[in-house]
A = this chain, B = another copy of it.
Amino acid sequence: MATIRDVAKHAGVSVATVSRVLNETGYVHEDTRKKVETAISELHYTPNEVARSLYKRKSRLIGLLLPDITNPFFPELARGVEDQMQENDLRIIFGNSDENLKKEKDYIQTFVQNNVVGVIASTNDPDTDTYRKLNIPVVFLDRTADNRPSVYADGREGGRIAAHEMIARGSRQITVMQGPKHIRPAQDRYQGAVDVLRDQGITFNVIKTSSFSFTEAGTWAKELFEQHPDTDGVIASNDIVATAVLHEALRLGKKVPEDVQIIGFDDIPLSSLLTPSLTTIRQPAYDMGRAAAGLLIRLIDNENIDHNTIQMPVTFTERETTRKVEQQHG
């Protein structure tokens, strides 16, 4: 690899001059610029980011920490982040946390050790020292921390909407799936749904689940219909689980949505391709990723941000696992 010295020598100038043309800082004569530029291209020189980073004490890397990209919701987030970062010449060090605080700490440490300029994290524990003591900007994505930069959708409201729509469409033996205890958004959705159900005096059952994994989802689904065979409406904690519930319902010979309605959460790309296609509470994942990246960049550039927390809309996405209603309502 050629270094800046090689370029300088090749062009017959000093390293400082090369640095100047590289960074477009300070004066440099047109002729010498030309010389330097040809030297650069002849030697296929590209600056060593590591040396740069050491000197400036900041890299052009950001850290992205997501729970598990194997869950189709997160790749959407990730692409949003990446595309936006790309447009700003920032690259990504990526890690999956598995919602595990130790892994999170490990990755955060890696991030700072590598001089990242900022981090985007989906964490359930934004209030630990891990994040508090970070002296680089952090944006929480798909998670909230009061008064700190974050981009998220209103899960509680989503849960409420799901319950409302489910009731409006006639289900009276509703089962709500309670997602993993330690995952905040899962609990928000659950809470929102329960609030409305209680409010309306609808009886409902709860199935507790402890992961969002594809393999386990089938287990919860089976459990659901074993324990509550007369369920006529399921509010699932996300689209993966909803897909498993749909699969199991159909396997049991139930008609969807006639016998049982199902509402998911997220609107992962696949949901519309199921048969019947899945009614769900949509989160604009890609846009959330982009928004988080945009916010982080503004934070990095030290712009004065008026509102740090961006709440994205959740939208009821009506498809075929719910029945039609004549009259719409809130």
B217 engages A246 (CB within 8 Å): no
Label chain A's interface by main secondary structure: helix
Flag whether A124 is at the interface (Cβ < 8 A).
no
Assuming the contacts A76-B70, A246-B275, asked whether A112 and B270 have C-beta atoms less than 8 A apart, the reply is: no
Q: Does A237 contact B (CB under 8 A)?
A: no
Residues from chain B with Cβ under 8 Å of A257 in the complex: none
Residues of A85-107 whose CB lies within 8 A of B: 91-96, 107
Q: A75-B70, A270-B214, A273-B214 are in contact. Are A51 and B49 (CB under 8 A)?
A: no
> How many copies of the shown chain assemble into the complex?
2
Partner of A95, one of B75, B82, B109: B82
Check: A218 CB closer than 8 A to any chain B CB. Answer: yes
Residues of B within 8 A of A69 (CB): 69, 75, 78-79
Cβ-defined contact, A114 with B49, below 8 A: yes
**A53 part of interface (Cβ distance < 8 Å):** yes
Which residues of A in the span 72-86 have a Cβ within 8 Å of any Cβ on B? 72, 74-76, 78-79, 82
Q: Is A200 in contact with chain B by the CB < 8 A criterion?
A: no
Q: Is the CB of B269 within 8 A of A214?
A: yes
Interface size on A, residues (CB 8 A): 52
Residue from B112, B215, B270 in contact with A243 in the complex, judged by beta carbons closer than 8 Å:
B270
A51 touches B48 (CB 8 A): no
- Collect the chain B residues with CB atoms within 8 Å of residue A269's CB: 70, 214-215
- A105-140 with Cβ < 8 A to chain B: 107, 109-110, 112-115
Known: A54-B50, A270-B270, A275-B246. A91 touches B75 (CB 8 A): no
Nearest opposing residue in chain B for A135, CB measure: B1
Asked if A244 is at the interface of the complex by the 8 Å CB criterion, the answer is: yes
Identify 13 residue pairs between A and B in the complex whose beta-carbon atoms are under 8 Å apart, listed by A's number.
A50-B50, A50-B114, A50-B115, A68-B79, A69-B75, A70-B75, A91-B93, A91-B95, A93-B94, A94-B94, A214-B273, A218-B273, A246-B273
